[in-house]
Chain A
Amino acid sequence: MGDVLVWLIWFLAAGGLLASGAAVVSVSNPFYSALALIANLASLAVLYLLLSAEFLAAAQVLVYAGSVMVMFLFVVAYLGGRADAPWAGGPPLLRTAALVAAIALLVEVVVVLGLAWGDNLSDPAEISAAFGSPGAIGELFLTDHLLAFEITSIVLLVAAVGGVILGTTPRRRGENEHRREA
């Protein structure tokens, strides 16, 4: 019964993921697009839980859905009518090329996956209860991946400084209070 339940949840989450992903790309209003991405993130969080990545699921919801996307909605609301841009357009050649490229990528990935399917994608490893816990991930970050951790922190710092500078325009100084959330 548990097996069926997992499959059911997987199908629901996968369906949500695909549908919301399609919505992100296709709707014309950025506000809806952002909402769709939030739904997408929620579906992803469910999938992460199925993959025993509890901490990542929570972090995803907290950081991504909770803060980043709130900021996104904030900006969309702030821009109001100016946020609307033409859906697509440009030369039809460009559109065709884009479609061809995307489909080519997709087909290739599926083909590559199909080639590898039988060999080593079938049986997942045994894992302990601590798999995906904050403690285990934190320890990895401070030992094996310390450099990556430090570089990430520098990237964040640079982004924070960049955000402040972008928000501080000489023309209207008073408005940059909101931008600091970056």
Chain B
Amino acid sequence: MNAAVTGAWVCLLAPLAGALAITLAGERISRRTAGWISTLTTFVAFAGALDAFIRLWARNHGDREVLSTAYTWLAAGDFEVGFQILVDPLSTVMMLVVSGVGGLIVWYSMGYMAGDDEERRYFAYMSLFVFSMLLLVEAGNFLLLLVGWGLVGLASYLLIGFWHERAEAVAAAKKAFVVNAFGDATFALALVLLVWETGTLEYPSVFERVDGLSSTIVTLVALGLLGGAVAKSAQIPLHTWLPDAMEGPTPVSALIHAATMVTAGVYLLVRTSPVFEAAVEIQHLAAILGAVTLVAAGLIALVQWDIKRVIAYSTMSQIGYMFLAAGIGAYGYAIFHLMTHAFFKALLFMSAGVVIHHLHGEQDIRRMGGLRAVLPRTHVAFGVGTLALVGIPPLAGFWSKDGIIASALATGGVLGWSLYLAALVGALLTGMYALRLYFAVWQGPPRETEDEAHTHASGQSEGPLSMLVPVGVLTCLSTIGGLLVVPGLWKPFEHWVEESAEALVHPTVAQDYATSVVAVALGLVGVWLARRAFEHGRQLVTDPTAWRILERKLYVDELYDAVFYRPAAALAVTLRQDVEGPVVERSLDEIGAGTLHAGGELSRAQSGLLRTYAITVAFAVSVLVVVFVAVR
């Protein structure tokens, strides 16, 4: 077998080994050792991914797809599923992002989580997550993809509810799990349909046969896959879990709910693009959902007070961009934005983590302010992350986001233009909410909690080295990471990814630069609006009705409550009162009483004496013999 695959296997199995080692070692290793095991295995995974990437790079163009089967996992008749991994340009990019950013975040966790009671459990979960995510992106067929899909959901559930003594954390974990389970279910149903119709779950054979299927079937399969993607990536209408998931530790938010897991939906859309291309309506639906999400999430982000929730809504919004890109077939830009977003969003979360760490858990931006003086280095990092998010050149977000918007323009038609407009509105909103957050936290006079914190922690630096180094690395990446695609100049990244999924649209250089001008201008307008609002000491949304609507997150939670929860609960109460009680329980009582009575009568036959039993049996047998002989 060739060496590219070896690296990929190492990449997949190292975090699993780490998770097992930490779990099995238990209290025999120190918390710090557990952290190091987790960090180092993740970096080993990164090394494996790098190895795989370089060796794949060295291969000829068009020969960069290697399938490696460890063994046949399931076999039923003709249907076979192997435990196999697929190493191709798309999966190597994802491997690099997951293990690289993952490694930095796990490393950061060692500083952030220091002193927590259950660090070992935390690191075991983190390693489990990294393994699951790698399994997801390396999976060589649909079933293994679903396994990874489910495992990341599990890891996410465990990590959101990591502080299990906090009721909100437990509730958030449950919510995330239930919503994700809904997506998993539609995903699994899509796979069932695929097995039913094509008899296989291998990527190539499915993609080959998907054109031969009836349009209804393809639409249903695509819809099922989209359901999974939407739930995992927190897109409207299955987005409600992500803001609540901020109850987990901040590195978890950075790793799972910004950099990797929530982008799995985008990966799915790109990976299974032949299916979506066969069901164009659904692909467009994905784009529309992305557009709606990016605007709605941007609006909600304007009014949030919790620092992490603002970033969470921003994540939803950015993933909306990726969905939009994947929906119109700009796969290269979708994955590109996925990567840059992983850099600057992880950076934002981790900087926010430093702030929260510094303020001993305070997350409300109304009680922050003026931290620039106290945390200068973090301020720079956060600033870079914010500007990258807004899309100011030459930072990472600029190159990827503008590519997406330009692709929408290149698509044309009613759909293309609507998406284009939505994306531009999104750019404006991004500038507004990002800078609102930035000003509230870093500028202005210090607030009272900050004073307390300052006096409490006088002399305290910005955190241990294990927190600062990853933040620094990510700052650099957020700065230069976007230069992999410069329109008109070179596009190595896009070409690389599009070997796995050929893009449907290619914006011209003119479209690209024209869009950039508009988008950056809108972003700057957003910045200017936020600046003005901050200087006047008021909020960006001034109309109280609009504020209320946005603060209640467009009433989606309330809607779900009214549509799903209340009827179900009411039905349950009715059933309990009118069916369970009078019918089931009463009948059970009657049956029980009857049995008891009959038993009481029958027990008189139980003399407890061996001989009477034996004689009874003997008589019974002799009667039975007569019966049998007579019947014959």
A positions within 8 Å CB-CB of B: 90, 94, 97-98, 101-102, 104-105, 108-109, 111-112, 115
A104 close to B622 (CB less than 8 A): yes
Cβ of B615 and Cβ of A112 under 8 Å apart? no
Provide the bound-state CA to CA distance between A124 and B611, in Å. 39
Contacts of B621 in A (CB 8 A): 105
Residue in B611, B612, B614, B625 whose CB lies within 8 Å of A108: B625
Q: How far does the alpha carbon of A105 sit from the alpha carbon of B621 in the complex, in Å?
A: 8
Q: Are B615 and A108 in contact (CB under 8 A)?
A: no
B493-516 vs A, CB cutoff 8 Å, 1 = contact: the mask equals 000000000000000000000000
Whether a CB of chain A sits under 8 angstroms from the CB of B619 is yes
B593 at the interface (CB under 8 A from A): no
Contact indicator A105/B618 (Cβ below 8 Å): yes
Closest A residue to B623 by beta carbon equals A104
CB pair B622–A94 under 8 Å, yes or no, is no
B615 touches A98 (CB 8 A): yes
Selected from A97, A98, A108, the residue in CB contact (under 8 A) with B626 is: A108
Assess A112 versus B612: contact at CB under 8 Å? Given A101-B619, A105-B618.
Answer: no
- Min C-beta distance of A114 to chain B, whole Å: 11
Q: Which residues of A contact B618 (CB under 8 A)?
A: 98, 101-102, 104-105
1/0 contact trace for B36-70 toward A, CB 8 Å? 00000000000000000000000000000000000
Asked whether B629 lies within 8 Å of A105 as measured between CB atoms, the reply is no
Which residues does chain A contribute within 8 Å of B615, judged by CB atoms? Answer: 94, 97-98, 101
Please state if B629 and A112 are interface contacts (CB–CB under 8 Å). Answer: yes
CB-CB contacts below 8 Å: B578-628 with A: 611-612, 614-615, 618-619, 621-622, 625-626
Identify 17 new A-B residue pairs, CB closer than 8 A, beyond the known A101-B615, A104-B618, A108-B629.
A90-B611, A94-B615, A97-B619, A98-B614, A98-B615, A101-B622, A102-B618, A104-B622, A105-B618, A105-B621, A105-B622, A105-B625, A108-B622, A108-B626, A109-B625, A111-B629, A112-B629
B625 contact set on A, CB distance < 8 A: 105, 108-109, 112
Residues of chain B lying within 8 A (CB to CB) of residue A104: 618-619, 622
Main DSSP-derived SS at the A contact region? helix
Name which residue of chain A comes closest to B629, CB basis: A112
B612 touches which of A94, A102, A105 (Cβ 8 Å): A94
- Per the CB 8 Å criterion, the residue count for chain B at the interface is 11
Q: How far is the CB of A99 from chain B (nearest CB, A)?
A: 10
In the complex, chain A residues whose CB is within 8 Å of the CB of B614: 98
Chain B residue contacts of A115, Cβ below 8 A = 629
| A102 nearest CB neighbor, chain B only | B618
A171 to B619, CA, bound (A): 42
CA distance A104 to B611 in the complex (A): 17
Q: Which residue of B lies closest to A105 (CB)?
A: B622
Q: Give the docked Cα–Cα distance between A98 and B615 (Å).
A: 6
7 chain-A/chain-B pairs, Cβ below 8 angstroms: A94-B612, A98-B618, A105-B622, A105-B625, A108-B629, A112-B625, A112-B629
**Alpha-carbon gap, A44 to B618, bound state (A):** 24
A112 to B612 CA separation, bound complex (whole angstroms): 26
Closest to B614 in A: A98
Tell me the complex Cα distance, A111–B629, Å.
Answer: 10
Closest Cβ of chain B to A150, distance in Å, is 26
Residues of B close to A94: CB separation below 8 A: 611-612, 615
Centre residue among B612, B615, B619, B629 by max chain A CB count within 10 A: B615
State the Cβ distance, B612 to closest chain A Cβ, in Å.
7
A86 and B618 CA atoms in complex are apart in Å by 23
Whole-angstrom CA separation of A112 from B622 in the bound complex: 12
A101 cross-chain contacts in B, Cβ below 8 A: 615, 618-619, 622
Smallest distance from the beta carbon of B614 to chain A beta carbons, Å? 8
A66–chain B nearest beta-carbon distance, Å: 28
- The 6 A-B pairs at the shortest CB distance, nearest first, are namely A101-B618, A104-B622, A108-B625, A97-B615, A101-B619, A105-B622
Q: How many Å lie between the Cα of A115 and that of B625 in the bound state? A: 13
Q: How far is the CA of A108 from the CA of B626 in the complex (A)?
A: 8
A residues within 8 A CB of B622? 101, 104-105, 108
For B614, B618, B622, B626, the residue with the greatest tally of chain A CB atoms inside 10 Å of its CB is B622
Closest chain B residue to A100 by CB distance? B619
